[in-house]
Amino acid sequence: MTTTTEQPVAAAHDDPGRRKRVRRTTLAVTLVVLAFYFGFIAMMLLRATR
């Protein structure tokens, strides 16, 4: 670990399968959030400019 900031420990000991699952879950949840976040605002702005 050569970086000044420490390598996060969570990644250090887990197996590749788990890492993949973490990525997949993060992606799924993030997509939901983005859809909510911008979807809601976009929907309202569209309605307003129509």
Partner 1 sequence: MAETPHTEAHAHAEHAEHDHKPHGWRRWVFATNHKDIGTMYLVLSCILFFTGGAFAMLIRAELFKPGLQIVDPGVFNSLTTMHGLVMIFGAIMPAWVGLANWMIPIQIGAPDMALPRLNNLSFWILPFAFLLLLSSWFVPGSAPAGGWTMYPPLTLQFGSSFPMLIFAVHMMGISSILGAINVIVTIMNLRAPGMTLLRMPLFVWTWLITAFLLIAVMPVLAGAVTMMLTDHFFGTSFFNAAGGGDPVMFQHIFWFFGHPEVYIMILPGFGVISEIIPAFSRKPLFGYEAMVYATASIAFLSFIVWAHHMFTVGLPLSALLFFMFSTMLIAVPTGVKVFNWTATMWRGSLSFEPPMLFALAFLFLFTIGGFSGLMLALVPADFQYQDTYFVVAHFHYVLVSGAAFAIMAGVYYWLPKWVGRMYDMRLATWHFWLSAIFFNVLFFPQHFLGLAGMPRRIPDYAVQFADWNMVSSIGGFAFGLSQLLFPYVIWKCVRSGERVEGTRAWEGARGLEWELPSPAPYHSWTTPPSEAVIARGAEH
Q: Rule CB under 8 A: say whether 5 interacts with partner 1.
A: yes
Structure tokens at 13: 């000991």
Count of residues touching partner 1 (by CB under 8 A): 27
SS in 3 state form for the chain? CCCCCCCCHHHHCCCHHHHHHHHHHHHHHHHHHHHHHHHHHHHHHHHHHC
Q: Which one of 2, 15, 16, 40 is in contact with partner 1 (CB under 8 A)?
A: 40
Q: Among 4, 15, 16, 46, which residue sits at the site for partner 1 (rule: CB under 8 A)?
A: 4
CB of 2 vs partner 1, minimal distance in Å: 13
